[in-house]
């Protein structure tokens, strides 16, 4: 979709702001690095705070110069779930956790983390399958009936209230207004999930890990990627970006601090609003 001149002008402002913020961050980084690490370590140790309510924003109230970001975190409950919640509460932003059924039963700690997620008003819960395909995705998607059964089991086990879901190991979309499949051999299974009533949401931007399960890029690099996606109209739905990372990448001070800075810089730009995935455009319509 092509942008008109006014939209391009707004987006160039985005680029300019982010460039200025990045330069300022680099200058201050050496002075603040030790302080940031200490704050991150405190965040790991701090008790989980009381949930804050996040005001819902109707589409009509999103100004034309605003962009909407949906923070989503896969594979929980897991190591890092508590740290994720602490970052969200520090910044008072909402997010969506796509849960794996087996992970909720994996250990006593994971069971406790599930309860933290359940009672937290900043988080909504969604389906990321029961088995996570046992991490053997090719064989998993060859059997569409098994895929649907797996998601049904997760929904029942986790007592999920919605049919919003994300497929393991695949960036697949099956909504009324968005249809996309990254690996075409998964199409039949994705169609079966849609037929069963599931609303499949993929992502527009992923923050990937290093080999040591730490966040790979710094927050400045991710901010530039956000800006690039909006400027070049690479979102599945214009002005709406679904962001993905994982709970288990948030166990070290560096990763926690970088996620915190990423959210902080987005907030301070005053050009973004944050929403849970259930507020994604047209997601609540009945599937055809």
What homologous superfamily is domain 5-47+65-279 in, according to CATH?
Answer: Glycoside hydrolase/deacetylase (3.20.20.370)
Give the range among 50-59, 132-141, 215-224 with minimum mean pLDDT: 50-59
Give the range among 35-39, 88-92, 162-166 with minimum mean pLDDT: 35-39
Domain boundaries, the chain: 5-47+65-279
What 3-state DSSP class applies to 98? strand
Q: What is the mean pLDDT of residues 134-160?
A: 98
Percentage with pLDDT > 90 across the chain: 75
Give the distance, in angstroms, between the CA of residue 8 and the centroid of all CA atoms in the same chain.
26
- The dihedral over CA atoms of 216, 71, 89, 39, expressed in degrees to the nearest 10, equals 10
What 3-state DSSP class applies to 212? coil
Q: What is the mean pLDDT of residues 120-136?
A: 98
On the 0-12 / 13-18 / 19+ scale of CB atoms within 10 A, 125 is: buried
Please give the DSSP secondary-structure letter assigned to residue 217. S
Residue 3 has pLDDT above 50, yes or no: no
- pLDDT score at 158: 97
Residue 47 has pLDDT above 60, yes or no: no
Q: What is the mean pLDDT of residues 165-174?
A: 98
Summarised one tens digit per residue, pLDDT across range 18-27 is: 444 444 443 3
- pLDDT score at 19: 45
- pLDDT score at 43: 52
Distance (Å, whole) CA 99 – CA 75: 5
Summarised one tens digit per residue, pLDDT across range 176-234 is: 999 999 999 999 999 999 999 999 999 999 999 998 899 999 999 999 999 999 999 99
Residue 33 has pLDDT above 70, yes or no: no
What 3-state DSSP class applies to 200? strand
Residue 131 has pLDDT above 60, yes or no: yes
Nearest partner of 288 among 152, 175, 181, 147, judged by Cα:
175
Q: What is the 3-state secondary structure (H, E, C) of 19-79?
A: HHHHHHHHHHHHHHHHHHHHHHHHHHHCCCCCCCCCCCCCHHHCCCCCEEEEEEEEEECCC
| Band (56; pLDDT cuts 50, 70, 90) | very low
| Band (49; pLDDT cuts 50, 70, 90) | very low
Distance (Å, whole) CA 275 – CA 238: 15
Summarised one tens digit per residue, pLDDT across range 73-126 is: 999 999 999 999 999 999 999 999 999 999 999 999 999 999 999 999 999 999
Q: How far apart are the first and last CA of the chain?
A: 25
Residue 39 has pLDDT above 60, yes or no: no
Nearest partner of 272 among 33, 52, 18, judged by Cα:
18
DSSP per-residue string spanning 138-194: HHHHT-HHHHHHHHHHHHHHHT-SS-EE--TT--EEESSS-EEESSGGGHHHHHHHH
Residue 32 has pLDDT above 70, yes or no: no
């Amino acid at each position: 979709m092509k942008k008109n001149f006014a939209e391009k002008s707004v987006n160039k402002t985005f680029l300019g702001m982010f460039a200025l913020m990045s330069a300022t961050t680099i200058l201050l980084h050496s002075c603040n690095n030790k302080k940031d690490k200490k704050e991150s370590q405190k965040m790991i140790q701090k008790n989980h705070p009381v949930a804050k309510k996040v005001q819902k924003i109707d589409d009509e109230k999103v100004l034309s110069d605003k962009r909407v970001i949906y923070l989503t975190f896969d594979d929980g409950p897991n190591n890092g779930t508590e740290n994720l919640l602490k970052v969200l509460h520090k910044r008072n932003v909402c997010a969506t956790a796509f849960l794996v059924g087996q992970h909720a039963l994996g250990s006593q700690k994971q069971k406790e983390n599930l309860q933290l997620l359940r009672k937290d008003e900043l988080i909504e819960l969604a389906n990321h399958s029961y088995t996570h395909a046992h991490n053997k995705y090719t064989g998993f998607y060859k059997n569409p009936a098994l895929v649907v059964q797996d998601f049904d089991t997760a929904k029942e086990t986790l007592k999920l209230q919605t049919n919003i879901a994300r497929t393991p190991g695949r960036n697949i979309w099956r909504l009324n207004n968005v249809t996309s499949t990254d690996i075409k051999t998964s199409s039949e299974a994705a169609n079966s999930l849609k037929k069963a009533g599931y609303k499949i949401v993929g992502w527009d931007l992923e923050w990937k890990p290093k080999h040591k399960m730490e966040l790979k890029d710094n927050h400045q690099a991710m901010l530039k990627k956000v800006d690039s996606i909006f400027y070049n109209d690479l979102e599945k739905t214009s002005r709406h970006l679904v962001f993905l990372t994982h709970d288990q990448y948030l166990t070290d001070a560096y990763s926690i601090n970088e996620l915190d800075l990423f959210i902080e810089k987005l907030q301070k730009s005053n050009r973004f609003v944050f929403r849970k995935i259930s507020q994604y455009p047209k997601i609540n319509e009945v599937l055809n």
